[in-house]
Structure 1
Amino acid sequence: MIDSAYDAMSNGESIDPSDIADLVAERDAIQSQIDHSTVNEIMSLSMQVLDMMTDMSRRNVAVGKKVADAILDRPRGIRQNQIDGARRQAEEVAIQKAKNPGASVQTEQYLRDSNGKILKGDDNRGRRLDIVVIKDGKVVGNPIEVTSMNASKRQQLSREASIHANSSVFVRDRTTGNLVEISGLISRVERRP
């Protein structure tokens, strides 16, 4: 049908509206087949990866065993820590929103230079702040590092202090895209279960 339409147009003929409707239906059917095929390919690839990992763990290949062990341990250990960390952070965000009406409470903010480039500490790593409160283009109070009752934050705070010691420090306000100075404001640690 599409070929017939092209032939008709190339010969200067007009196309009947019902033919156009048929072409649209044919196009939609083809697109549906493509979409279905793409989903099936993604599912097939995912299954191949899962099968490969299962096979590797069954053969007790060192890498496969490590991957399988990590997957099995993740729900109990690492995943629970991530869930608890996210919960703690969400609780603190709610507290800061209540304390600072109209402010933007932002999470996971890197310390940056005046050009927006991520700054690095003495250990050559960047520092990402858990929570920063920004209102009217200014940081409100010190940033907040939210953690468990007994986790050491010495390394992160040391990195943060070394960054502040070497230059002017900014964060990028996600609501405006502007850099907001945070020089000298070291994170305070907020611990909760």
Structure 2
Amino acid sequence: MHKIDLSHNRIKISKLLTIQVVMMLFAILVTYKWAINYVDIIEQRFLTNVIYGILGFIGVLIIHELIHKYLFFIFSKGQKPQFKYKNGILLIYLSSKYFNKWQFCAVMLAPLVIITIGLMLSFYHFAYSSIIFISSIHIGYCLIDIYLTAITIINKFKYIHSTDEGIFMYHHLPISINNDYE
């Protein structure tokens, strides 16, 4: 068993935030490089990009968490996921459900894939530079999802249990539970 709980360790949170900011800046650079080759960018002022980027990200964040919630609901066969805001981290969990690793990875990576593709398609049609900022902020935000997926795959965990106390990862399904996973 392995437990991941970022809410009690402020050093890990500050390192994660630093890496997220670096990733956002890197995503802005890569996306601009890509965009210059394929579309005529409608440049906006830096302050406009930042303001629209943050406001747009708030909308994207809501969609991101709703995708997580919907997939948790689907994979749990109708159990309602719980939301909890704890020490600056929004947690979505189902305390009575164990997911297999592919279900968990799908839940973690779906918002990144769906929203990034949606933003890139909208950017292709409406090439405002603020869409690059929205997308880049979202990619940076998704680093925790990528991190959790990587830990699951690299360490070959087979079952994941998301609770309000953290995420528990197992190599074998605990015997004491009655869980109808797929």
TM-score scaled by length of structure 2? 0.31
Larger radius of gyration: 1
Between Structure 1 and Structure 2, the one with more helix by share is 2
Question: What is the TM-score normalised by the length of structure 1?
Answer: 0.30
| Greater relative contact order structure (CA < 8 Å, 6+ sep) | 2
